[in-house]
């Protein structure tokens, strides 16, 4: 055992990278490693021999595993230090003559969306990111038993014991801005509501904080036909294509009735999305006619006025348009990523000369 100990501790100390370290681990304590095979021999020993060899083998195994873990941590620290040295930047140095900074794709797409809807007469409305649950849920016809109101999906703000104020949340959508806009401006109204929203989810296509834009139009003679035209014009302008085909699928949202999810006809060519052609369909947003209860919550008489609403993820349509594979990269603060996907700061989106110049 002393020979095994000296052998493997020496090899671990000399390992140059994690691949070499893993090979040593397998040779020592893997299923067919030397120490593992020695431990299998305990069954052939007498009880007296096992009392001596068993603890010694376990101690040897623990020592080798500890040495491997320590070496692995050391290699990781060395790799991090090397990376920090290569990526180090003295922010106090004068400018090196690089071009103007880059616009983040989220900012760019928000500007593109705003330009498109402004051309159709939509104003931009904003609201607080910390909302009371009446604006975020009740006013939008989302009942108290709805799953979206559970703490598994929603970030609730902490309340001190004895605090009787209504619960507050990090808003889960930008729909509360629609309620605030209706209460403030009344009808008729035509607004879009872009902004940050928050939900308890995190994977390749979901993050705890992301961006949405919602649209609201209320008047006395608005119908689903108007909604369809607005969305068709938006998709054509945003993806910069001459024609699109939309498919409305019946769905259910508490704040609209009837409700529909909207798909666009498309194709995928070597991972590249092509809108307006092909045999595939891609869901991009939810929409519908504003529910009468939502109009009432906004101080508007549903017997006199009606309207449509829609909502989509800004991050999602940015990924589709610019071929960005992972949503989480939007929030990594990696300048190399931004230099690849970023946009020139002075090239403002314009419908006449092109959105994504």
HSE-CB of 223 using CA atoms within 13 angstroms:
2
Of the candidates 127, 133, 113, the residue with the CA atom closest to the CA atom of residue 215: 113
* 45 against 249, higher pLDDT: 249
Of the candidates 232, 308, 312, 304, the residue with the CA atom closest to the CA atom of residue 265: 232
Task: Quote the percentage of the chain above a pLDDT of 90.
Answer: 37
pLDDT band at 214 (very low <50, low <70, confident <90, very high): very high
**How far, in whole angstroms, is CA 140 from its chain's centroid?**
24
Lowest mean pLDDT among 48-52, 175-179, 308-312: 48-52
* 206 against 5, higher pLDDT: 5
**How high does pLDDT run on average in the chain?**
86
3-state secondary structure of 27: helix
3-state secondary structure of 90: coil
Distance CA 206, CA 248 (A): 24
Distance CA 55, CA 67 (A): 18
Average pLDDT over residues 142-157: 79
Average pLDDT over residues 196-219: 85
Distance CA 292, CA 307 (A): 10
Of the candidates 138, 135, 119, the residue with the CA atom closest to the CA atom of residue 127: 135
pLDDT at residue 28, rounded to an integer: 87
pLDDT at residue 357, rounded to an integer: 58
For residue 337, pLDDT beyond 80 = yes
CB atoms within 10 A of CB 309: 25
Whether pTM exceeds 0.75: no
Lowest mean pLDDT among 38-47, 286-295, 296-305, 344-353: 344-353
Distance CA 114, CA 122 (A): 8
For residue 249, pLDDT beyond 90 = yes
pLDDT at residue 231, rounded to an integer: 94
Looking up tokens 């594979």 gives 325
Residue 148 region, left (φ>0) first, then alpha (ψ -120 to 50), else beta?
A: alpha
* 231 against 159, higher pLDDT: 231
| 207 and 327 Cβ atoms separated by less than 8 Å | yes
Element (H, E) at 107: helix 105-119
pLDDT at residue 53, rounded to an integer: 83
| 21 and 68 Cβ atoms separated by less than 8 Å | yes
First to last CA, the chain: 69
For residue 202, pLDDT beyond 70 = no
Distance CA 94, CA 351 (A): 37
């Amino acid at each position: 055992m002393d020979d095994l100990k000296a052998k493997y501790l020496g090899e671990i100390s000399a390992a140059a990278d994690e691949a070499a370290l893993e090979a040593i681990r397998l040779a020592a304590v893997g299923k067919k490693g030397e120490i593992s095979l020695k431990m299998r021999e305990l069954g052939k020993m007498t009880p007296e021999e096992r009392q001596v060899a068993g603890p010694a083998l376990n101690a040897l195994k623990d020592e080798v595993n500890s040495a491997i873990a320590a070496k692995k941590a050391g290699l990781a620290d060395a790799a991090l230090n090397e990376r920090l040295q290569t990526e180090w930047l003295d922010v106090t140095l004068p400018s090196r003559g690089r071009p103007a900074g880059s616009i983040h794709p989220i900012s760019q797409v928000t500007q593109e969306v705003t330009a498109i809807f402004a051309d159709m007469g939509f104003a931009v409305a904003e609201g607080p990111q910390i909302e009371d649950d009446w604006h975020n849920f009740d006013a939008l016809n989302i009942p108290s038993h709805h799953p979206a109101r559970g703490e598994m999906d929603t970030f609730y703000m902490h309340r001190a014991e004895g605090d009787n104020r209504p619960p507050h949340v990090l808003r889960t959508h930008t729909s509360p801005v629609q309620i605030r806009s209706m209460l403030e401006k009344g009808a008729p109204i035509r607004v879009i509501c872009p902004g940050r929203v928050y939900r308890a989810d995190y994977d390749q296509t979901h993050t705890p904080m992301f961006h949405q834009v919602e649209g609201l139009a209320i008047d006395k003679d608005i119908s689903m036909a108007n909604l369809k035209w607005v969305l068709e014009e938006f998709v054509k302008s945003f993806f910069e294509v001459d024609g699109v085909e939309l498919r409305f699928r019946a769905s259910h949202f508490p704040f609209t009735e009837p409700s529909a999810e909207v798909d666009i006809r498309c194709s995928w060519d070597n991972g590249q999305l092509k809108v307006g052609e092909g045999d595939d369909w891609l869901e991009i947003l939810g929409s519908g006619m504003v529910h009468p209860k939502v109009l009432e919550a906004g101080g508007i008489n549903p017997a006199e006025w009606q309207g449509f609403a829609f909502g989509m993820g800004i991050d999602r349509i940015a990924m589709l348009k610019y071929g960005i594979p992972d949503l989480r990269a939007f929030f990594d603060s990696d300048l190399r990523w931004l230099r690849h996907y970023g946009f020139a700061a002075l090239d403002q989106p314009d419908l006449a000369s092109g959105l994504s110049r």
